[in-house]
Amino acid sequence: MSAEPELLVAVIMGSKSDWDSMKPASDTLHKFGIPHECRVLSAHRTPDELAEYLKSAEARGCQAYIGGAGGAAHLCGVIASQTLKPVLGVPMDSRLQGLDSLLSTVQMPEGIPVGTFAIGPSGAANAALYAISILSLQRPELADKIRQYRQERKDKILKEHLPYKQSSAGMVPPPKE
């Protein structure tokens, strides 16, 4: 029997409908070469399976969890109550524009911390980047990859030009490349 693959980050969402918002977390982890897996497990509908999965993930070396849930978003709090590893919460958009999810994720009792990110896809991507930053404390090569990622984003912004820019002399065309 072969050994199970290394697992550094687990991405858990409460429903398959959360996948479009959580996919940027998986995409970001993949881009950085981080061994991870994505699962649908509900704090309310599959609590026993969630607990078993967390035990399995810990046994395989999981170092951080990214959770995404909407509405009464208790998933991240339940994960945090069962692990000492970092739990990064991503509230999902909802009929209340994600405010219910945000408050459910961020309002944790003292002693059960959940790092909470922005609602939706940008929050998921940033949660993955934060998990990678945590991993970089023990893996310096990841810090180099983060530095390179930020430089690429900086370079992209610096290459962007508007058709005209406002100056005290009025509208001026951008410099020719």
30 domain-assigned: yes
Element containing residue 151 per DSSP (H, E): helix 140-158
1 domain-assigned: no
pLDDT tens across 59-95, in order? 999 999 999 999 889 999 999 999 999 999 999 999 9
Q: Residue 87 corresponds to which amino acid?
A: V
Which pLDDT score is estimated for 163? 79
Residues of the domain holding 95: 9-172
Strands 9-13, 36-40: pairing kind: parallel
Strands 87-91, 115-116: pairing kind: parallel
Alpha-carbon distance of 141 to 164, in angstroms, equals: 41
3 state DSSP class of 116 = strand
Mark residue 9 as left, alpha or beta (left: phi above 0; alpha: psi -120 to 50; beta: remaining): beta
pLDDT tens across 86-117, in order? 999 999 999 999 999 999 999 999 999 999 99
Alpha-carbon distance of 172 to 169, in angstroms, equals: 8
Q: Is the pLDDT of residue 24 over 90?
A: yes
CATH of the domain at 56: 3.40.50.1970
Q: Is the pLDDT of residue 28 over 90?
A: yes
177 domain-assigned: no
Tokens at residue 148, please? 């390179």
- Comparing C-alpha atoms, which of 110, 159, 150, 108 is closest to residue 129? 150
Q: Which residues contact 111 (CB under 8 A, 6 or more apart)?
A: none
Number of compact structural domains in the chain:
1
